[in-house]
Structure 1
Amino acid sequence: MAIGGVHNQAASRRRALAGKSGWAGLVHNRRVFMIAVFASLGGLLYGYNQGVFSGVLNMTSFDNRMASAVNKSASKGWLVSILELGAWFGVLVTGYLADKLSRKYTILLAVCVFCVGVIVQTSAHGPSAIYGGRWTTGMGVGSLSMAVPLYNAELAPPEVRGSLVALQQLAITFGIMVSFWIDYGTNFIGGTGAGQSEASWRIPLALQLVPAIILGVGILFMPFSPRWLVNNGRDDEALQVLSRARGLPTDSDLVQIEFLEIKAQYLFEKETSEINFPQYQDGSWSSGFKLGVYGYLSLLMTRTLLNRVAIGTLTMFFQQWTGVNAILYYAPFIFKDLGLTGSTNSLLATGVVGIVMFLATIPAVIWVDKVGRKPVLVSGAFIMAGCHLIVAVLTGLFHNSWDSHRVAGWVACVFVWIFAMAFGYSWGPCSWILVAEIWPLSVRGKGLSIAASSNWMNNFIVGQVTPTMLDNINFGTFVFFGVFSFLGGLFIMFFVPETKGLTLEEMDDVFGAEGLAVADQERQMAIEKRIGLDNYAIVGDVREHSEKDDDVKNDDLVYKA
């Protein structure tokens, strides 16, 4: 029998017992949905922080206060991108913290760090405080960017996992949209000229504390991840969390199968660790640290894990080099370059970016678990590439004469908005879904931290170089990002497998678990039988529970060996 034979049969039964995917599944799993919505406040914090600074940079009072930093392209790039550098560091340490402290308490710690950075920025009287505050805020935001998708992915039932993880991106785009319009409103405090009040930029920065405090207090009342609980020997609690999430008793077939799938994967990886590293099994801190280091090394030294590292890091690489954050960070300046004069008009056009990106993300939440990851990512990449190239052509033709070519300027603005829509429904949510669901339990925190760190490091580079690119190569900036958008679509099309509808444990089959040694195959099958997973992989008629959805209720299901 092939590896996972027992598991595959049980998984088939679980899929039959489970509810619908997409929006119908979200309604059916309302408790999980509401928990994920709350946890995704972390995404709102990231989105708000990402969007608010582009408007702040365009405010007269901020420019006057921070003139030594904003008047040069290089220092302006550092002022923006130092947040991403802090986030990169935050992500790297979060892999260890998420496994050690739990996903839940890691989110709490990240919120505390985030709040410290916001306070420093809000009270800043010079560029040094903005640099330090954005670095600190970045550490919190980077940690949240990893911990929240991880928490949602591990709590969500497989049939709605993609939609729930997509809520993170929906929250990000909502935060971006809100920040753009708050910037637009506070820009009028004291007027838009030399007399503008410093409250115009201090207020939008300070408002970040509101959702952060709500998330920090509220996460204390949220459940732990069931997969983290199993990983730490708290099986009864994990079973209770799954039971409450499904709205079914702990002894129901669906809850039992999901629990035993998690348990089997954990035991297999634990026994593998004991065989490979018997000298580090004494439970001490030093042994745990060494196992963690070897866990990171295993990502590079095991072919199936290296494949996941490549997919995770390159997906995030291409996400950033679509140029989305070049648009978000410098949107007011880009719209000025496209012929929209005055800070008010450019902030207004930037606000439209936030609206269209948010609205475009909603279909991803509803349909991503039905359509799949690959079609969404490929189509979005090609649309973004087309938008970049059209804006590049228009800018190349009319950048010295926008005043006499108003229509062309507005057409370029429209394609910037279409670009934002394309990113909103595709690479925004789906890239995070993909990198959150491809890792095995034993290295999931570490693997996601590597992929997320790729996102933040490339985010940092984009934020750093964009002002210089806009100054020196002008429309070539859009050509550059358009080419990388197209290459990203090709990468997904030819090198990334479809992961729609798979459990986090079934992902091993997709990434080459069939290549494991015979001894590993036998050990996994023995574990599945030892814990009773084979009791749910039987041949026979299965009558569905009355609680299930109409399309599976009372169906006769056959499970074959």
Structure 2
Amino acid sequence: MSNEKADQMIRSSSLEEMSSVDLDSAYGPSGFHGLVRSSNILFYSLFASLGGFLFGYDQGVISGVLVMRDFETRFPRVGGNGDLQGWVVSIMQLGAFVGALINSPLADRLSRRYSIAVACVAFLIGSVLQAGAIDNSMLFIGRFIGGIGLGQISMGVPLWIGEIAPPNLRGSAVTLQQFAIASGIMISFWLDYGTQYIGGIGEGQSQLAWRLPFALRVIPAITLLIGCFFILPFSPRWLVKVRREHEALAVLSRLRKLPENHPIVQAEILQIKAGARFDALTIKEKFPNAKTSAQIAYQQYKELFMQKHLAKRLFVACFLQFLQQFTGVNAIIYYAPKMFKSIGLSGNSVSLLATGVVGIINVVATVPAIGIVDNFGRRIVLMVGALFMSLSHFIIATLYAIYEHSWAEHLSAGWAAAAFVWFFVFNFAYSVGCIAWIYPTEIFPLGVRAQAMGIAISVNWISNFVIGLITPIMLNHIKFGTFYFFFAFTMVLFGWVMFFLPETKGVPMEEMDKLWGGSEGKETADRMARIQNELKCESRNVPIYSKTSSYSDDLDIEMQEQY
């Protein structure tokens, strides 16, 4: 799109003419090409995705630690007890459930980036306790506190990335979070495989074999903590929300690598302001008695459940998180060595080696997702992935049922089952593994986005908790039925996406109401019309958010005081 066309768009008689297609074309291509051209978005997204790396590393490292000889010796109640192993894994998810919920008010109050910093501190405390654990209590407490930090990170990082990225790169940029998760899982798997040999794999194994993998994760956590203060910018949408408009314009200009008065930057800041002002005016008119941020937050949580279009979005976001976990991916991540042993691959080294292959495939398969989610859309990628995940589970379960008692005589069947575990991981990584993080960041209005993200991610973690707890029990008792169980949920994912999930590819966050019906009512439509007229007048009279302009109406003063 030419500068003249963008300039005409800003001066047009209706904000509606700033369509997603216009802005999408203005910013250029999506996928790899777009990320390379927008090198600063790529850099910031990759740096913030260190949070995803921590998430993946913690998920992966525990699977290898649980089968190490020295760990089993020092924690005998855990090493020989499938139920307690489930709790060692799941207590982290329980902490993450808490962390995802408490991060919403922090993200609104402190900013998206500083909420990530708080999360890093919690994660560091948990990591130190786990690396130095001398008894079960210390191990469990460390995993719970570390989990709180991971829950905050898993909510804060995709929220921040989704708010700094332009519409054409939003899916690809958030997908970098999944790439980082997969990288963390892979590195932790291979680190476990290597450190198991410190002191030997028998009785003489050193405690460093499992303490070192726990301790090394403090390095990326400290790096991200420092970056939150000196590298990552504020989200321009958050800055507009707290009425720091001049800063928002400066940050947006830096993110887009365009001058502040460039028509494209002006168009986007106008769109962001329209969404923020709409949310603020809605709050003022709907909740006239809510004067403090706590009162407003309560009303916003209430609105998420009481307003039909918001409740629909919340259900979709939460159900997608639930289904992501019940595909069984983290059952494989947490208990991969145990699973590979159950399908006939004997010996710790063999099972850990096969587990390491899971990590490599997870990373490799995430790479194409960076290019396809913004080109092909969310729905088709989800459906293809769900279909092949279903096929994988079905074949694994069937092979298990046939050769359960004769793996030793049918090693090829065991390796075939392992191959379909890897095939499952491949299809998970580029589909629901990525899109479950993208979707909740983009479908909610700014005023309730942090609250909705907190609820959705907490559903992910509580589902993760359940999976971590029940998987060793299922593998011990229903065995191959475990894979049929997950097969059923992958089929549910396929059907639900096909018939019920809207496509959000390329739709600006401020225009999501067109998909979900949030602007159908006359009252809401009138409110948006008033805002459009106000912004139209402002854009004709003075440059939007120029250094000399001011916006000091009662609404802005009231909202600024609340923050």
- Residue in 2 that maps onto 1:547: none
TM-score (norm. length: structure 1):
0.92
AA matched with 2:369: A
Q: Secondary structure at the match of 2:289?
A: helix
AA matched with 1:264: A
Shift of 1:161: 0.5
Whole-angstrom distance in 1 between the partners of 2:438 and 2:537: 28
Q: Could you tell me whether the CA contact under 8 Å between 2:386 and 2:490 is conserved in 1?
A: yes
Pick from 497, 501, 515 the counterpart of residue 502 of structure 2. Answer: 497
Shift of 1:18: 2.1
Q: Could you tell me whether the CA contact under 8 Å between 2:394 and 2:487 is conserved in 1?
A: yes
- Residue in 1 that maps onto 2:296: 291
Pick from 348, 363, 387 the counterpart of residue 358 of structure 1. Answer: 363
AA matched with 1:9: E
Q: Could you tell me whether the CA contact under 8 Å between 1:264 and 1:528 is conserved in 2?
A: yes
Q: Could you tell me whether the CA contact under 8 Å between 1:10 and 1:533 is conserved in 2?
A: no
Judged with a 3 Å threshold, the aligned counterparts in structure 2 of structure 1 residues 146 and 533 are, in CA distance, closer, same or farther, namely farther
- Residue in 2 that maps onto 1:169: 178
Whole-angstrom distance in 2 between the partners of 1:534 and 1:383: 52
Q: What pairs up with 1:252-291 in 2 under 5 angstroms?
A: 252-281=262-291, 287-291=292-296
- Residue in 2 that maps onto 1:58: 67
Whole-angstrom distance in 2 between the partners of 1:235 and 1:315: 34
Shift of 1:261: 0.7
- Residue in 2 that maps onto 1:144: 153
Whole-angstrom distance in 2 between the partners of 1:425 and 1:534: 44
Whole-angstrom distance in 1 between the partners of 2:505 and 2:66: 40
Shift of 1:76: 1.1
Whole-angstrom distance in 1 between the partners of 2:275 and 2:113: 22
Q: What pairs up with 1:189-200 in 2 under 5 angstroms?
A: 189-200=198-209
AA matched with 1:300: F
Q: What pairs up with 1:418-497 in 2 under 5 angstroms?
A: 418-497=423-502
Whole-angstrom distance in 2 between the partners of 1:256 and 1:525: 19
Pick from 233, 238, 244 the counterpart of residue 248 of structure 2. Answer: 238
AA matched with 1:335: F
CA deviation digits over 1:54-87, x for unaligned, max 9?
Answer: 0000101001111112312211111110000000
Whole-angstrom distance in 1 between the partners of 2:22 and 2:388: 39
Shift of 1:19: 1.1
Q: What pairs up with 1:540-559 in 2 under 5 angstroms?
A: none
CA deviation digits over 1:436-484, x for unaligned, max 9?
Answer: 1111000000001111011000000000000110000000000000110
Whole-angstrom distance in 1 between the partners of 2:265 and 2:418: 50
CA deviation digits over 1:189-246, x for unaligned, max 9?
Answer: 0000111111000000000001000000012122100000000010001011111111
Q: Could you tell me whether the CA contact under 8 Å between 1:57 and 1:70 is conserved in 2?
A: yes
- Residue in 2 that maps onto 1:84: 93
- Residue in 2 that maps onto 1:9: 17
- Residue in 2 that maps onto 1:540: none
AA matched with 1:77: G
Shift of 1:336: 0.7
CA deviation digits over 1:466-511, x for unaligned, max 9?
Answer: 0110000000000000110110111111111000001111111111
AA matched with 1:161: R
Shift of 1:5: 9.4
- Residue in 1 that maps onto 2:536: 532
Whole-angstrom distance in 2 between the partners of 1:173 and 1:503: 28
Shift of 1:23: 1.3
Q: What pairs up with 1:268-417 in 2 under 5 angstroms?
A: 268-281=278-291, 287-417=292-422
Task: Decide which moves more: 143-152 or 125-134.
Answer: 125-134
AA matched with 1:260: L
Shift of 1:534: 9.2
Q: Secondary structure at the match of 2:189?
A: helix
Measured on the aligned residues, the alpha-carbon RMSD in Å equals 1.3
Judged with a 3 Å threshold, the aligned counterparts in structure 2 of structure 1 residues 370 and 110 are, in CA distance, closer, same or farther, namely same
Whole-angstrom distance in 2 between the partners of 1:311 and 1:280: 28
Q: Could you tell me whether the CA contact under 8 Å between 2:120 and 2:222 is conserved in 1?
A: yes
Whole-angstrom distance in 1 between the partners of 2:25 and 2:54: 37
Shift of 1:27: 1.5
Q: 5+ residue gaps in structure 2? A: 1-11, 541-563
- Residue in 2 that maps onto 1:111: 120
Shift of 1:15: 3.0
Pick from 156, 165, 184 the counterpart of residue 165 of structure 2. Answer: 156
- Residue in 2 that maps onto 1:539: none
- Residue in 1 that maps onto 2:47: 38
- Residue in 1 that maps onto 2:34: 25
Q: Could you tell me whether the CA contact under 8 Å between 2:69 and 2:205 is conserved in 1?
A: yes
Q: Could you tell me whether the CA contact under 8 Å between 2:310 and 2:518 is conserved in 1?
A: no
AA matched with 1:490: G
- Residue in 2 that maps onto 1:207: 216
Q: Could you tell me whether the CA contact under 8 Å between 2:159 and 2:450 is conserved in 1?
A: yes
Whole-angstrom distance in 1 between the partners of 2:45 and 2:381: 22
Matched, 1:100 2:104: no
Judged with a 3 Å threshold, the aligned counterparts in structure 2 of structure 1 residues 406 and 303 are, in CA distance, closer, same or farther, namely same
AA matched with 1:363: P
Whole-angstrom distance in 2 between the partners of 1:5 and 1:396: 67
Q: How high is the sequence identity, in percent, across the aligned residues?
A: 45
- Residue in 2 that maps onto 1:48: 57
Q: Secondary structure at the match of 2:373?
A: helix
**Matched positions, count:** 527
Shift of 1:532: 2.7
Q: Could you tell me whether the CA contact under 8 Å between 1:6 and 1:533 is conserved in 2?
A: no
CA deviation digits over 1:19-72, x for unaligned, max 9?
Answer: 111111111211111011000000000000000000000101001111112312
Q: 5+ residue gaps in structure 1? A: 282-286, 537-561
Whole-angstrom distance in 2 between the partners of 1:533 and 1:166: 38
Whole-angstrom distance in 2 between the partners of 1:23 and 1:440: 28
Shift of 1:535: 5.9
AA matched with 1:218: G
AA matched with 1:311: V
Judged with a 3 Å threshold, the aligned counterparts in structure 2 of structure 1 residues 53 and 277 are, in CA distance, closer, same or farther, namely same
Shift of 1:338: 1.1
Task: Decide which moves more: 522-531 or 173-182.
Answer: 522-531
Q: Secondary structure at the match of 1:197?
A: coil
Matched, 1:522 2:526: yes
Q: Could you tell me whether the CA contact under 8 Å between 1:260 and 1:533 is conserved in 2?
A: no
Whole-angstrom distance in 2 between the partners of 1:231 and 1:146: 19
Judged with a 3 Å threshold, the aligned counterparts in structure 2 of structure 1 residues 108 and 330 are, in CA distance, closer, same or farther, namely same
- Residue in 2 that maps onto 1:224: 234
Shift of 1:17: 2.0
Whole-angstrom distance in 2 between the partners of 1:522 and 1:214: 47
Whole-angstrom distance in 2 between the partners of 1:148 and 1:180: 23
Q: Could you tell me whether the CA contact under 8 Å between 2:31 and 2:372 is conserved in 1?
A: yes
Q: Secondary structure at the match of 2:345?
A: coil
CA deviation digits over 1:383-440, x for unaligned, max 9?
Answer: 1111011000000111111110011111000000001101111111111111111110
